[in-house]
Structure 1
Amino acid sequence: MPIFENVLKKQIDIKVIDSTIDYKNYVPLDLSAKHTDELDLDLTDADKFEDFVKNHLSQNKAKVAFGGYLEHRNLYKRSETFNDENTEERNIHIGLDLWIKAGTSVLSALDGKIHSFQHNLGLGDYGPTIILEHEIEDCTFYTLYGHLSLESLEGKTEGQLVKKGEKIAELGKPPINGDYAPHLHFQIIKNLENKKGDYPGVCSFKEVDFYKENCPDPNLLLKIN
């Protein structure tokens, strides 16, 4: 396994939302295009989407639903953000989603500092977003936290130090969070490509190899299952 992925795997006791919720209370959630088509799930209505997530949690006696890394989704068809007529459709999710109610605490995965933050406006985008910078064993990398509350950006400064497990934000509600059911989009990024406050969380099929290398599976760090 590459050196960086080994660095991630060596980290322990990592939580990025409410530290009181044990991973045994997490349940997978399949939002692949095939599955949502079979369910005839309306992905354009944030309230119906949230009801679907709540029902999934209730049926599984769980508190958090998770999943989505490298998942092919229809979730983005409603937004021009991912469907520009001049480029290939972006529908491969390259982060990990953690679905739970708005207002849930969002935590820094590791010691680091605030690299950048901004409100990414637009239907289907991240909404309020924070990117942290970390350095472990001479590896510099970034973690992105998307779909936050607008208040989460207040009082933040670039370079501000954060500690592992420190509360850095709260999950936002639709439509501020990009108009999704409340959840955290968590992503690991090796090369931020000079971007600030934003980085693609969805890619096209032809870009998968690059983003799979640049954005490894967040579960290497979280170890949910």
Structure 2
Amino acid sequence: MTGLTTMPFGDAAIMIAGGAEAGARERVRAVGRALERRMPHGVTELVAGLDSLLIRFDPLRTRAESIEDVIRLLDETTGVDNTVSSTAGRTFTIPVVFDAGAGPDLEPVASELEQSVDDLVAAVTGTMFNVVLLAAGMAPMMEGGRFDRPVRRGTQPRTNVPAGSIMLAGQNAIIQPFPGPTGWRVIGRTPHVVVDIAREDAAAILPGDRIRYRAVSRDEAERIGAAFLSPDDGPMGSDR
């Protein structure tokens, strides 16, 4: 397999991972999009990571070897296509409260990077992040950070992070759509709703979109309220 490796992940899942060669991450995503378009017999769920893809299957309906054959064929025949959605290219400006209450890891991450909290906030708000995939719960995962070194994951995962939390790991960022556990470092929180399962368009942000963050006070965040996020040129704007 060119650039990709597969490995068992328990008795009912396979993990695809990119190798070290250039373009491996893009190949993982291309294979994942091909699988989404036509799920193989017995496959029950796809869980995407930044450079990996977990394929869960029903062992009573298919075998790991059959799925590996499909992956191998897709890897050989699927071209890397960076067109990931019909709305790709939208820009969102997301207000974020950066303080110890909203971001319990803000000061520890700044210390880890050997900079002040203000410098870390400036680095985050001065970056245009690119959304590369929707993770579990339709959480928008993005890349593009320019920190002096990759941000380490937490040594002890947090068990219940609030919805709207802005989190870092490596050179990447993610927004927590619903309360839940995470091993990413929590540095702030947006008042906006980024996923609303009651809506037909449940995810406000899609792969291919661009994200910039804007620091706001708690008073301003309260004024904005829990509105569903819309792009900068959308009918509601983003409370820039």
User: If the length of structure 1 is used for normalisation, what is the TM-score?
Assistant: 0.26
The structure that has the greater radius of gyration is: 2
User: If the length of structure 2 is used for normalisation, what is the TM-score?
Assistant: 0.25
Bigger relative CO (Cα 8 Å, ≥ 6 apart): 1
